[in-house]
Amino acid sequence: MRPSLQLETIEARLANQTVTTQEIVPGQREAAVALVLQPKVSGLRALFILRAKKEGDPWSGQMALPGGHRETIDADLVETARRETHEEIGLDLNQAGRYLGSLAGIRANPRAGFDLVVTPQVFALEDKAVPLQPNEEVAEVLWGNLDEMISGRSLTDASFPEFQREGTFPGYQVGAQVVWGLTFRMINDFFDLIRPDAG
C-alpha cells in the first residue's frame, strides 16, 4: 500500500499556505529547527535527535528537531536551520537536502526564564543513506515514522518526572523515546497543514 504522506503534496501545501510571521519584540530571541523528511517504503519518516543531558539547557535529555539560535552570520532562519543541523549531526542540507518551506513560528515557554520564537524549516532528503556525525550536544539520532504519527498509531501518554513535570503528557513514541512538548506541537502544526482534509 502506498504511504499516505507524499512529498509532492507536502511541498504544495507548504507553497500555498499563508505563514503568519511573529513579530520579534525586544528581549526575544529567534531560533530555527530543521524538520528533515525522507521517504521510505514503510512510509515518510522524520529525523529527531535526543539531546544530551547538559546543565542549563531547558531541553536537556529531551527529543527534539536539530536546530538552535539564530546568529548574526545567518542571513535568515533557513540558514540557521541548515547551519545548526550541520553542526549538531553533520548533515549538510545544502548538499543532501531540498528546502520545501517554513511552518509558523512557535513561542517557547517564557516561564522557563527565556523568551524564544522557534520556526521549523522543512527539508526533504532522497531515499538513500546519509552519513550522520552527532556532536557532543546530541546523545542519539532517531527516525520517526510520520505515517504512524498522523494516523495516531504511535500516539501515547507519558510522564516526565525527570523534568519536574507532574501528570502525563501526549507524545509520539519513537523507539524507546517520546516526542513531546514543543516538538510535539511543531509536528502537530505540520500535520494540521498537510493532512488530507486540511484546506
Q: What is the mean pLDDT of the chain?
A: 90
- 49-53, 161-165, 189-193: least confidently modelled range: 161-165
- 18-32, 80-94, 177-191: least confidently modelled range: 18-32
Q: Is the pLDDT of residue 4 over 60?
A: yes
- pTM for the model stands at 0.91
Q: Cα(138)–Cα(60) distance, rounded to whole angstroms? A: 10
Q: How many CB atoms lie within 10 A of CB 7?
A: 16
User: Tens of pLDDT along 81-134?
Assistant: 999 999 999 999 999 999 999 999 998 875 566 789 999 999 999 888 889 999
Q: Is the dihedral of CA 142, 152, 106, 44 positive or negative?
A: positive
Q: Cα(44)–Cα(146) distance, rounded to whole angstroms? A: 6
The two beta strands, 177-179 and 168-174, are antiparallel
| DSSP classification of residue 23 | P
Q: What is the CATH number of domain 7-194?
A: 3.90.79.10
What nine digits make up the cell of 93? 542540507
What nine digits make up the cell of 144? 520517526
